[in-house]
A and B are shown apart, each in its own frame.
Chain A
């Protein structure tokens, strides 16, 4: 059976697939989203939270580019916190616990609102190609669906294998089967695959938790939304709860080690070092006598609870016995045990910056298939792949975000330039231009670009402009309006800050680390200087950041300019790296495999030394380098 043809097919309806399909459809492409289960669209398979450190910044960027994640989070959020408030605005990171049912419903509704977007419950089992171009997919229901571009967002489904103790079976998520066939199809098209592992903790019945003995963690009193378009957030918030394991819990867990699929070697895939299972934690950090656990509600209307920090694939009875030793969980009922899952991924050095595979024109990858972990990382790639699939169809230049423009740029550059051998997640320390890439200015950085691409409408663009204008207006007022010692010294004294001796601009007083701009304006009767701002954020907070970071941002700008010289030096596709005698063997191999697009990318590949980069620079500048035949 032959189905009507589409411009773009998106395989998978998770966070990557949803963003990809929405972006492509919004840009005008006739888009089909194929998912094994329509009910699973936008599902939070692991923790019921969006954002976090490094990840919250990505979620804000997705929103600034017109993506779904921010709006769905604001709608479904049941607890909002700005993490790292005490650590400096560059690393302030929004995080929200979500009602995962509402989240999925919100995503589904936004997809249905896209007129160019169609959905189909089915499974892609093979790929159609025409020479080195993708031509569509073949489905489990026996249909060939043609399209000029295909975006694969297979998550943990490709050859997914679930492990719990000595039990092991094929599955993409608990209760859902694996997808078979695509890995083979991709091998035939010349792509290499690898195997990764991730895990998830047990889910508990909240009615059987003794909350009375637990430490409560409330949301922020003044919650900040994820979307730049949000004017209201839910008025009530739910709390999370904190408890701890102890030696006794660890001892019980150890009794299951001989049946742990990780320790006995049944799991081959590499897991994330920064998100270890509880058995990994007590094995590797034996001297630590307790580990923190967060009990997170899964929704407004359910008692299901997620046990953050207790990811495990030990036998179910060991999980059960151990968790019942944890304070507050003595008589808990487990709704579902934790498990580990292994799945196929395709090392991302096989990608271009557009997320198109180098081997097959028109075939794009996004999300866990590229070796990442996390909803935000997946959503970001989905959005980029969706945009670039459309750009590919239109024979237009791809949208490539620079490392200096967005965390999304850092993410994709890291993947493409270095590849990854363990599930990749974002950290703020990965971003060398962290002072500039803040969650509060994602709109300023990206929304103009999104408007030009057709991802967002004028309403959003106007809003970005208004925010920017408010910011500039306050900043210039602060540089114009002065404070006399009499006006400001009482306030400074209270803070234990040295008094000023002469009249100074507000901007200068506000530079002091201990001075909060909002308080300063309030105490000196200058609140009238603060322009009104659409949304729930405070312009004085943003401007305070602008002021205090000025010097650091200037240094980052200098660095960007310097790196730019390497980024601008394109490496021709035809360089035969294996024939360059003057670089190390390791560099020859890696450059040949990764085939970087410019010298900046080459310089970030591990194993490529500065001297190798210099040799390349000399060769490319002089035009003298060995070329591949043909």
Chain B
């Protein structure tokens, strides 16, 4: 039997403990065996690893030379904490920008985003929840289990799950044929049809890719989309930013290199918050301040959901990158600017694989709508046009993990088939695909149900 029991207990989890939005303070909470170590890596001040429980420390968080915020950090050592594990809480100044940056940084150095209710689940598992609640919890689990299929599908209804379940069933059938080969090879039996297996795996991979797309959409709904604007100096990045935001958030001048620091601001389109980060122009420079800005713009790209590369069509200069760089995971959108200043832009645009042509100045003057560009950004990041309400949206981090693992296992099976590995190995990988798909669609494992319960019901808070 496959089970995810204990899937996550070793992880250190992080989440915002206070609501998003303007408030005086926002609290970021970490829990888990590595909470102190991970916190120590972003906190400059006392060495957190050696501080006693229930102590409060003031210091800066951020990376060396790149402070995010001054914070108050409170330590609770296991088992004397709300979850029974090591817990660290950071109180930041109440800007979402700073606290988002801190969460991202903590994830980068080893924490995992907590699932809804996961802190409570851990508290329960470590005996921190009042005993009287145990029966209530048991009753809830039972009540929910009667709708077990639907529970795990709370983020996943509609045809995707049906299709995935159908694929899963056929994979089970095929794996049983593989097993037949292994356990009854001495007998006169039919062998598993490898071409059918390949076709089925391709189908499964496609469905999973589509689900992954819906995950990005779901995540975009709750987390927003971060767009970093890059380009050569004077490509018009700041003008574009101001056009998008509808107000002069950024100083615009004709002197190349005016923007020396990152500037971030956001707009909402179709219910999704788009955060734009304007960066320093990319060129060789002797100016120290500007060089620092360039370094930061490179950093910013790594945290972006989309890198919007602005190309000055009138300047005739080649784009920054000959081809999209594979080392960054962010998506790229290449936008040709200053279409108003030259004729024959189409030829140039197609020669340099420009995705969309605009005039930022015309937008700024209200002569050109910004929607086509925003749509292009959404299309590239969340592919939202594919999700018209009838389709499913995956927002659970765990489901995303299962989709990833399933896809990875499918890749292994395909490679294995190409390399003619033995059927015992093929079977092991196909079995994993089955288990992962089961976990996505609702052949749920023990802790998943508990996770669901705790994420749907606010127990112990």
The residues of A with any CB-CB pair to B shorter than 8 Å are 52-54, 83-84, 86-91, 274, 291-292, 427-429, 432, 434-435, 512-514, 549, 552, 555, 561-566, 581-583, 603-604, 609-615, 617-619, 621-624
B285, CB-defined interface residue at 8 Å = no
The reply to whether the CB of B444 lies closer than 8 angstroms to some CB of chain A is: yes
Q: B142 near A552 (CB under 8 angstroms)?
A: no
| Docked-complex contact B425 and A552, CB < 8 angstroms | yes
- The answer to whether A610 and B184 touch across the interface, beta carbons within 8 angstroms, is no
- Closest CB in chain B relative to A98 CB, distance in Å: 17
A-side contacts of B447, CB under 8 Å: 614
Q: Which residues in B have their C-beta under 8 angstroms from that of A610?
A: 3, 145, 148, 444-446, 448-449
- Beta-carbon contacts under 8 Å, B399-448 to A: 419-425, 427-428, 432, 444-448
A428: contacting residue among B145, B148, B182, B420, CB under 8 A: B182
A512 to B127: give the CA distance in the assembly, Å.
49
| 5 sampled A-B residue pairs with Cβ under 8 A | A565-B9, A566-B3, A614-B447, A617-B450, A618-B134
- The answer to whether B376 has its CB under 8 Å from any CB of chain A is no
For the complex, what is the distance from the CA of A583 to the CA of B145, rounded to whole Å? 9
Interface residues of B in 149-176 (CB under 8 A from A): none
Query: Does B6 contact A561, Cβ atoms closer than 8 Å?
Result: yes
In the bound assembly, the distance between CA atoms of A375 and B5 in angstroms comes to: 36
Is B188's beta carbon under 8 Å from chain A?
yes
Q: A513-B422, A618-B134 are in contact. Are A565 and B6 (CB under 8 A)?
A: yes
Q: Are A427 and B6 in contact (CB under 8 A)?
A: no
Complex contact B3–A562 (CB within 8 A): yes
> B135 an interface residue at 8 Å Cβ cutoff?
yes
- Say yes or no: A582 contacts B6, CB within 8 Å: no
User: In the complex the two chains form, is B134's CB within 8 Å of A614's CB?
Assistant: no
CA distance A172 to B448 in the complex (A): 51
Assembly CA distance A549 to B424 (angstroms) = 10
Name the distance in Å between B129's Cβ and chain A's nearest Cβ: 8
Min CB gap A439→B, angstroms: 13
Counting chain B CB atoms within 10 Å of each CB, the highest count among A549, A555, A582 belongs to A582
- Taking beta carbons and an 8 Å cutoff, which residues of B are in contact with A? 1, 3-7, 9, 124-125, 127, 131, 134-135, 137-139, 141-142, 144-145, 148, 179, 181-188, 419-425, 427-428, 432, 444-450
Residues of A within 8 A of B427 (CB): 429
Chain B residue contacts of A86, Cβ below 8 A: 185, 422
Taking a contact as CB atoms under 8 Å apart, the answer to whether A513 and B420 are in contact is yes
Nearest 9 A/B pairs, CB to CB? A88-B422, A611-B145, A622-B134, A88-B424, A582-B142, A429-B179, A90-B424, A565-B6, A427-B183
Are B186's CB and A429's CB within 8 A?
Answer: no
| Number of inter-chain CB pairs below 8 Å | 138
* Pairwise interchain contact A292-B187, C-beta atoms closer than 8 A: yes
CB contacts (< 8 Å) of B179 on chain A: these are: 427-429
> Could you say which residues of chain A place their CB within 8 Å of the CB of B424?
87-91, 428, 434-435
Nearest opposing residue in chain A for B131, CB measure: A622
Q: How far is the CA of A187 from the CA of B229 in the complex (A)?
A: 81
B421–A513 CB distance below 8 A: yes
B3 touches A291 (CB 8 A): no
Q: Which residues of B contact A88 (CB under 8 A)?
A: 182, 421-425
Q: A565 to chain B: which residues have CB within 8 Å?
A: 5-6, 9
B409 CB, min distance to chain A CBs, angstroms = 10
Cβ-closest chain A residue relative to B127: A621
Q: Are B428 and A435 in contact (CB under 8 A)?
A: yes
Contacts of A84 in B (CB 8 A): 182, 185
Beyond known contacts A563-B5, A610-B444: 9 more, CB 8 A cutoff: A86-B422, A428-B182, A512-B419, A552-B425, A552-B428, A562-B3, A583-B142, A621-B127, A624-B134
Of all chain B residues, the one with the shortest Cβ separation from A611 is B145
The residues of A that contact B186 with a CB separation of less than 8 Å are: 52-53, 83
Cα(A353)–Cα(B9), bound, Å: 29
- Cβ of B127: which chain A residues have Cβ within 8 Å of it? 621-622
Query: Could you say which residues of chain A place their CB within 8 Å of the CB of B4?
Result: 562
Contact call A609/B148, Cβ cutoff below 8 A: yes
A582 CB contact (under 8 Å) in B141, B184, B187? B141
In the complex, chain A residues whose CB is within 8 Å of the CB of B445: 610
Which one, B5, B139, B444, contacts A562 given CB within 8 A? B5
A609 contacts which chain B residues (CB < 8 A)? Answer: 145, 148
A84 to B187 Cα, complex, angstroms:
11
Minimal beta-carbon separation of B189 from chain A (angstroms): 10
Instruction: From the candidates B135, B184, B444, name the one contacting A624 in the complex (CB within 8 A).
Output: B135
Contact (Cβ within 8 A) A615 B7: no
Tell whether, in the assembled complex, residue A611 and residue B144 are in contact, meaning their CB atoms are under 8 Å apart: yes
Complex CA distance for A618 and B125, rounded to whole angstroms: 8
**A437 smallest CB distance to B (angstroms):** 12
The minimal Cβ–Cβ distance linking B51 to chain A, given in whole angstroms, is: 30
B130 to chain A, nearest CB (A): 9
Which A residue's beta carbon lies closest to that of B432? Answer: A555
How far apart sit A439 and B6, CA to CA, in the bound complex (Å)? 30
Q: How far is the CB of B448 from the nearest CB of chain A, in Å?
A: 8
B138, A83: Cβ atoms closer than 8 Å: no
- From A87, A512, A603, A604, B181 is in contact (CB under 8 Å) with A87
Bound complex: CA A552 to CA B425 (Å): 8
Give A513 to B3 CA distance when docked, in angstroms: 30
Pick from B1, B135, B188, B420: contact of A603, CB under 8 Å: B1
Contact A428 B449, beta carbon cutoff 8 Å: no
How far is it, in angstroms, between the C-alpha of A52 and the C-alpha of B145 when the chains are bound? 42
